[in-house]
């Protein structure tokens, strides 16, 4: 279940057919999920940037670091050359090496036998040692090759799958999330897609469409890890794809904007967090000539900076403040099992039923409050263009902001840059966003 299934719409632009990174033509995603007994919860996810071999047909790319306690292999050369020449791999912290080596082997297998091969794959990681026996080195090369073989366009499996199997985000089950947005034809008709591996954030900082939902869900117990984990521990990896003709510097700038999406959803770049963003653009092809020794110059296409940044001012449409919220804190995938089963997220329930949370939470004057404590009923106070949404399948309390965000690429990273895989893994529990909607938090 996704946020849009609950009527929670974030941002004014429309998603692609699958609302996934694969809505960028040519992009494919594959997973290998490893679950063994109560100890192993890990895996591999791969993102193939186009239908060919990236080593022979590279793309312009860029990176950004919000906080650097993490690894993104190959990033030094990408910053130097501006080129992505590999499939992108995601896994746990202690399996980066084996995934990198397997991607090299796969690239060599597809190369002409007479070619002198040089490969520096991009592999990123987050730490799943709270739920996974990370020192067991359970990810092997055959798991990477299986993920590559399974890679496809279309709908992308989310939540506790692939490299996201052992991840926790804002005190809920985290993992893989994805989203996309399409620009109008007057803005070029380009697609922007994002895939994240979310394994970060404190519960109380969680924001959904700008509302402090985490502060009101503190009655749901936090997970009990197999090892001691500080509340701020964890990281997030953001992969951005677009078919717009961006140059490397523009890819850097688009990756940088994804950090705004993390912040607006409650991330803060903690000291122990590896918050790394990577962007590639498929709008220029045939860049293999850049890396040969014969070509002197190569013609490329560039999207204008003003077009990419159009609508970036904080005020628009007669002074209404645009409210560009990060897309989709709400990839609700009920894939985990009970207190100690499923994907291994353990809770100390303490006899509390989260379905019995009080229903007197309302939205008023742009913040959350309890009418019983503050002595007021629900307000229709408007901030900018705050409108009541009348829908038969949702409570009257469900509110939706209308936005005046212009169609530009920078804000796409903000809108789609935090499609986190949040859900309550207990079979009897309510999904986070369902609970928030029912109690009037949204």
Task: Please state the domain extents for the chain.
Answer: 3-349+401-438
The structure tokens listed for 139 are 């990810």
- Reported as a single tens digit per residue, the pLDDT across 138-155 is 999 999 999 999 999 999
278 near 238, Cβ under 8 Å?
yes
Q: What is the predicted pLDDT for the residue at 273?
A: 86
pLDDT band at residue 415, thresholds of 50, 70 and 90? very low
Average pLDDT over residues 413-421: 40
In angstroms, rounded to a whole number, what is the distance separating the alpha carbons of residues 106 and 112? Answer: 12
Tell me what the pLDDT averaged over the chain comes to.
75
Mean pLDDT lowest among 22-36, 55-69, 287-301, 363-377 = 363-377
Is pLDDT of 399 > 80? no
- CB under 8 Å to 436, separation ≥6 — which residues? 208, 211, 213, 216, 217, 442
Catalytic residues: 235, 273, 275
Which structure tokens are listed for 230? Answer: 């500080």
pLDDT band at 331 (very low <50, low <70, confident <90, very high): very low
- Residue 340's CB is within 10 A of a number of other CB atoms, namely 11
Tell how far CA 407 is from the center of its chain.
Answer: 21
Task: Quick: pLDDT tens for 107-136.
Answer: 998 888 877 788 999 999 999 999 999 999
- From CA 147, how far away is CA 139, in angstroms rounded? 11
pLDDT at 271: 79
**Tokens 């928030």, residue located:** 436
| Gap between the Cα atoms of 225 and 253, Å rounded | 37
| pLDDT tens-digit series, residues 365-381 | 333 333 333 333 333 33
Residues 6+ apart with CB under 8 A from 152: 22, 28, 29, 30
CA distance 352 to 18: 37
Antiparallel, parallel or unpaired: β 315-316 and 320-321: antiparallel
Please, what CATH class does the domain formed by 3-349+401-438 belong to?
alpha beta
At 239-290, the pLDDT tens digits run: 999 999 999 999 999 999 999 999 999 988 887 888 999 999 999 998 886 6
Q: Write out pLDDT tens, residues 192-209.
A: 999 999 999 989 899 998
The 10 Å CB-count burial string (b at 16+, else e) for 191-218 is bbbbbbbbbbbbbbbbbbbbbbbbebbe
Instruction: Report CA 283 to chain centroid distance, whole Å.
Output: 22
Does residue 299 or residue 435 have the better pLDDT?
Answer: 299
* Per-residue CA distances from 40 to 70, 162, 210, 345 (Å): 22, 12, 35, 11
pLDDT of residue 309: 52
Q: Which residues contact 409 (CB under 8 A, 6 or more apart)?
A: 183, 190, 192, 242, 244, 246, 254, 303, 307, 308, 309
The closest of 239, 261, 180, 258 to 13, measured between CA atoms, is: 180
pLDDT band at 394 (very low <50, low <70, confident <90, very high): very low
CA dist., res. 126 & res. 91, Å (int): 7
Cα–Cα distances (Å) from 331 to 20, 208, 334, 384, in that order, read 11, 12, 10, 27
CA distance 440 to 201: 23
Residue 307's pLDDT is 62
d(CA 95, CA 118): 21
DSSP result, 87-153 = -EEEEEGGGHHHHHHHHHHHHHHHS-TTS------EEEEE--TTTS-GGG----HHHHHHHHHH-BS
Distance separating alpha carbons of residues 336 and 423, to the nearest angstrom? 9
Residue 347 CA, chain-centre distance (Å), reads: 25
Q: Which of 280, 284, 419, 441 is nearest to 360 (CA)?
A: 441
- Torsion-angle region of 23 (φ positive above 0: left; ψ -120 to 50: alpha; else: beta): alpha
Higher pLDDT, 8 or 278: 278
* pLDDT computed for residue 123 by the predictor: 98
- Rounded Cα distance between 420 and 196, Å, is 7
Task: State how far the Cα of 321 lies from the Cα of 311, in Å rounded to an integer.
Answer: 11
């Amino acid at each position: 279940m996704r946020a849009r299934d609950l009527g929670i719409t974030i941002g004014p632009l429309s998603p692609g057919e699958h609302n996934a990174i694969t809505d960028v033509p040519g992009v494919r995603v594959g997973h290998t999920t490893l679950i063994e007994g109560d100890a192993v919860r890990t895996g591999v996810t791969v993102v193939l940037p186009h239908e060919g071999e990236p080593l022979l047909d590279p793309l312009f790319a860029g990176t950004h670091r919000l906080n650097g306690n993490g690894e993104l292999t190959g990033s030094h050369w990408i910053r130097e050359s501006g080129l992505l020449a590999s499939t992108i791999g995601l896994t746990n912290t202690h399996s980066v090496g084996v995934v990198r080596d397997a991607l090299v082997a796969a690239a060599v297998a597809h190369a002409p036998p007479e070619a002198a091969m040089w490969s520096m794959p991009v592999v990123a990681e987050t730490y799943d040692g709270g739920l996974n026996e990370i020192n067991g080195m359970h990810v092997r090369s055959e798991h990477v090759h299986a993920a590559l073989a399974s890679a496809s366009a279309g709908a992308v499996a989310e939540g506790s799958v692939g490299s996201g199997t052992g991840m926790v985000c804002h005190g809920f089950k985290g993992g893989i999330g994805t989203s996309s947005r399409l620009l109008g034809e007057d803005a070029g008709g380009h697609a922007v897609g994002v895939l994240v591996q979310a394994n970060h954030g404190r519960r109380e900082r969680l924001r959904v469409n700008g509302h402090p939902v985490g502060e009101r869900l503190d009655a749901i117990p936090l997970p009990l890890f197999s090892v001691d984990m500080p509340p701020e521990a964890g990281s997030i990896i953001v992969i951005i794809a677009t078919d717009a003709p961006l140059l490397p510097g523009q890819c850097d700038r688009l990756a940088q904007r994804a950090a705004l999406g993390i912040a607006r959803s409650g991330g803060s770049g903690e000291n122990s967090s590896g918050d790394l963003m990577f962007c590639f653009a498929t709008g220029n092809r045939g860049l293999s000539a850049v890396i040969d020794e014969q070509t002197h110059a190569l013609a490329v296409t560039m999207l204008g900076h003003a077009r990419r940044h159009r609508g970036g001012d904080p005020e628009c449409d007669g002074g209404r403040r645009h409210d560009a919220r990060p897309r989709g804190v709400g990839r609700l995938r009920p894939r985990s099992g009970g207190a100690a089963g499923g994907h291994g997220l353990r809770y100390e329930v303490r006899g509390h039923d989260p379905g019995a949370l009080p229903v007197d939470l309302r939205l008023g004057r742009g913040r959350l409050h309890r009418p019983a404590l503050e002595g007021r009923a629900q307000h229709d106070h408007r901030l900018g263009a705050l409108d009541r949404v009348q829908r038969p399948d949702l409570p009257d309390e469900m509110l939706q902001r209308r936005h005046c965000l212009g169609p530009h690429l920078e804000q796409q990273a903000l809108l789609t840059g935090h499609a986190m895989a949040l859900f309550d893994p207990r079979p009897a529990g309510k999904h986070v966003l369902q609970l928030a909607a029912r109690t009037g938090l949204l």
